[in-house]
Structure 1
Amino acid sequence: MIKTTLNKLFDKKDLTFWEAEEVANLLMNGQVNGSQTASLLTALRIKGETSHEIAGFANAMRNNGVKILHNSKNLIDVCGTGGDNSGSFNISTAAAFVVAGAGVNVAKHGNRSITSISGSSDVLNELGVNIELTPEQSKKALEEIGITFLFAPIYHPAMKNVAPIRLELGFKTIFNVLGPLTNPASTTKQMIGTFNYDIAFKMAEAAKILKMERVAFVCTNNQYDEITLTDSSQIVEVNGDKAITVREINAETFNFPKIVLDDIKGGTPLENGKIILDIFNNQSSVSQFNVVIANAALALYTTGKYSTISEAQQAAEDSIKSGKALEKLNTLIDFGNNND
């Protein structure tokens, strides 16, 4: 099957959803050798991955992964594809606690960084969060605290067959966009940052194929995978059976001043952790505070709990200023320390 698939891709022909799912299953079950895996990922990249191929791979990843069975309602994930080279601090990670502080359950799915200094798990680990909770512990945290972190290697063990080859290849592959679409808690609502507009549309189409309920795909200036307030951001929205829509938002949407990228630059996990704590303690720069509010506001709006982004923005600001976002972080830290 793998040789037939490779020849099809070499001829620049697209795979169907089912063909993509089947070959992804072979990859994850170790039935494809290293050379074939590298050839497959390279051929897909050169041809350009389609929404059906992304959805097929994502479905295989979901089916091969460990799932969390929970009773949480109105659950969301706030994450990004990464790889945008913005050098910003961990904005979506901070936004996740703001969303939780506003009363919406969050299952934050993440990994260590491959393309930047500090991934979500890196900064959370630095802050004292136990990133390696078992699925049972993560379920308990989600239901008791309203937020949990799902460390990707625990939930996607089959990825061990592909990870070394991805590192050796050194370029973006289809797997760069699969993480946000394969949350172990089966979130149907998400805010997902993407590294360009084209992939935002493809992922949106894939989300519809996967029957996700409500998702906002975010890209700023065709390169940054979050709302940065430096330029206009394109928001590609999936809302059930409705047609995919696109909206543009910028700093003015939130009545914030436009900023420059240096205003939200990050660094090591230690440095980024300090920025997050400063934000939650109302001691950060205005730009750092505002960029987290903007991203949290869109996430809250995407849950459907608020009818306007303005209402969601107010809830996000209240979450930080009331200390609830910090409380969620501290409670998750304590939970991890007491559940070793």
Structure 2
Amino acid sequence: MCGRKELSLDILHEAMIKLLEMEESQVKNVQLGSLFTGIMARDPSVEEITTLLRAAFYKDGSPNNEEKHRIELPNNAKLISSVGSGKKGIKTINISTTSSIIASSLGSYVAKPGSSSVSSLTGSSDLLEETGVNINLPLEEMVQVLKITHFGIFKIENYLKHFGNLYNNKFFTPHVLSYGLAALASPVKVDKLLYGFAHYDVEKSLDVLLNFGFKDLLICSCTSDGIHYIDEIGVYGENRIIGARNGLKGRLKTFQPTSLSPVH
């Protein structure tokens, strides 16, 4: 598996489903971890990642953005999503949730996929639950909350039930599904996506998410040492950003925050 010989996508899809259908056991966990580790070690192709992500959703509905629940907003407003891959190399508090709340307070409509912490100090679900927010509302009720407050939190574990039960709390570093899983777990269709990926290859993450119907999106990551990455734009080290507009890819940009000129 670690060589560069192309894998059969049909066999890869079938292998993933066979693994997910195994009874829960240590053997299953080892085999799933071995598959993900082997694929990452050989530098997965966009097609291989896409295939595995589609297999992961085979009992949880379509991962395609265009096939998700569409929210009709006033004045044809755009719906934004901000979510991170998790599995970051430096442990931080949850930032995407607070930034989403700030954006919604300024008039944007934000659908925030949320989950409990695995690698961070706090996950988005943890942060909101600690403040008393009911994050377990049914989909239609949360949609109404979003329309009224401009902010809705959609707990990933409530919508990715089958795969989530098999996957949660088993992986602590970026793996082959991290290229897009958290973004695809949202139950609602979004117009614009900001995806933080705790890995250097943000361009491959962009290519994967374009395969799932996203048209307007930005992918970002940050590292201070070229080894440990966080799934957000950082205030130190090297930031990597790439995006697409109307489905057309832009160029990868890297920058150091200290090199930016102050805005007057």
| Same fold, judged at TM 0.5 (above) | yes
1:53 Cα deviation after fit = 2.2
CA deviations 1:80-103 (Å, max 9, x no partner) are 112223333222111101111222
1:119 Cα deviation after fit = 0.8
Q: Would the alpha carbon gap of residues 15 and 96 (structure 1) be closer, same or farther in structure 2, given more than 3 Å must change?
A: farther
Match of 1:245 in 2: 251
Structure 2: gaps (5+ residues): 62-67
Structure 1: gaps (5+ residues): 1-8, 257-309, 311-340
Alignment partner of 2:253: what SS? strand
1:227 Cα deviation after fit = 1.7
Match of 2:118 in 1: 114
Q: Which of the two has greater helix per residue?
A: 1
User: Equivalents in 1 of 2:172, 2:94: separation in Å?
Assistant: 22
Q: How does 1:117-196 map to 2 (within 5 A)?
A: 117-160=121-164, 162-163=166-167, 167=170, 171-177=173-179, 178-196=181-199
Give the TM-score taking structure 2 as reference length.
Answer: 0.78
Alignment partner of 1:190: what SS? strand
User: Equivalents in 2 of 1:191, 1:60: separation in Å?
Assistant: 24
Q: Which of the two has greater strand per residue?
A: 2
Q: Would the alpha carbon gap of residues 63 and 159 (structure 1) be closer, same or farther in structure 2, given more than 3 Å must change?
A: closer
User: Equivalents in 2 of 1:27, 1:61: separation in Å?
Assistant: 10
Match of 1:51 in 2: 46
1:125 Cα deviation after fit = 0.8
Q: Would the alpha carbon gap of residues 17 and 184 (structure 1) be closer, same or farther in structure 2, given more than 3 Å must change?
A: farther
Give the TM-score taking structure 1 as reference length.
Answer: 0.63
Match of 2:5 in 1: 13
The partner residue of 1:89 within 88, 93, 96 is 93
User: Equivalents in 2 of 1:15, 1:150: separation in Å?
Assistant: 35
User: Equivalents in 1 of 2:98, 2:88: separation in Å?
Assistant: 18
Q: Would the alpha carbon gap of residues 160 and 195 (structure 1) be closer, same or farther in structure 2, given more than 3 Å must change?
A: closer
Select the structure of larger CA radius of gyration: 1
Whether contact under 8 Å (1:81, 1:225) holds in the other structure is yes
CA deviations 1:116-144 (Å, max 9, x no partner) are 22111111111111121222222222222
AA at the equivalent of 2:72: N
